[in-house]
Amino acid sequence: MEAISYQGLFHLSAGALAFVTMIAGLREWGLRRSLAAGISEDRSNLEWHGVDSLTVVDIIEETHDIKTFRLIRSEGRSFPTFQEGQFLTFQIPHGEGAVQRSYSISSSSLNNKVLSVSIKKISEGIGSSWFHGLSIGDTVKAYNPNGLFILGEEKYNSKTPQVLVAGGIGITPFISMIQGVLDIGSTTPLYLFYGCRTEDDMAFDLELKSLAKRYKNFHYTPVLSDAQGAWTGEKGFIGIHLIEKQIGDLNSAKYYFCGPPVMTDSLTEALL
């Protein structure tokens, strides 16, 4: 196993835990940029059964070990509708056969022509090492989008704050979620807390800061555990007190966690 992602969704209402969903075991979350072109067609019945071949049309170096791969379907076909936060499962060549690895989609569902995944290279990781060796024009084989780690109806002008807490590469599904909400002009309040070790490890930081300045309902708080130089932001680890300082009443929000167990476990315990 290359890297295990651990996620949790918590909804607190009137001081009690009303809804809990735990998702564990997906390997190497990967997760960007969305284009709003060509979104008028009905995509509800587009076919994607079994494995489909996708072509790499762009590769973006987000950090020293994270790359975004922008993918298209053959013959200009559109992607079927998916929900932000879902993932693709890929067939990765290995030896004389293949293994499967899943990576989060990192683009908005409004872009029906290009889909992105962002992948961190893991030492000795079969899937991530293979992806990081790809070039523009190469093809990959993938199954259709899947997964339950989604905003659902909360995406559409909800008054309930959506608290997204990411650790490291756990940022990936949240990029898709955030862009999906903002692309449709939704007023749902979003609070993103993004923990990394150093500034060099922060993917999408400039993009997230730009979105926070542009949209009043999106709030971005980066946190560094090993801050160096002139860093003036939050330091240490993401804790419940930092979240409470930003949103106020903890019972009023819905929580989404994606990151290492040491982070998700401590926050889960604090909320329970």
Q: Tens digit of pLDDT for each residue in 62-85?
A: 999 999 999 999 988 999 989 999
Q: What is the dihedral of CA 78, 142, 132, 137, to 10 degrees?
A: -50
Tokens found for residue 211: 């979105």
pTM more than 0.75: yes
Phi (first) and psi of residue 246, to 5 degrees: -85, -40
Tokens found for residue 144: 């259709």
CATH of domain 51-143: 2.40.30.10
Quick one: 78 exposed, middle or buried, by C-beta within 10 A (0-12, 13-18, 19+)? middle
Domain range summary for the chain, segments of one domain joined by +: 4-26+148-271, 51-143
DSSP string for residues in 171-185: GHHHHHHHHHHHHTT
Instruction: Compute the distance between CA of residue 142 and CA of residue 79 in angstroms, rounded to an integer.
Output: 12
Instruction: Compute the distance between CA of residue 116 and CA of residue 88 in angstroms, rounded to an integer.
Output: 10
Residues of the chain falling short of pLDDT 70:
1-46
CATH of domain 4-26+148-271: 3.40.50.80
Instruction: Compute the distance between CA of residue 17 and CA of residue 237 in angstroms, rounded to an integer.
Output: 24
CA angle 8/12/16 to nearest 5° reads: 120
Task: Tell which residue, 152, 177, 165, has the closest CA to residue 257.
Answer: 165
Cβ(169)–Cβ(178) under 8 Å?
no
Residue with tokens 């559109």: 78
pLDDT given at position 43? 55
The number of beta carbons lying within 10 Å of the beta carbon of residue 150 is: 19
CA angle 146/97/47 to nearest 5° reads: 35
Provide the pairing of β-strand 234-235 with 254-259. Answer: unpaired
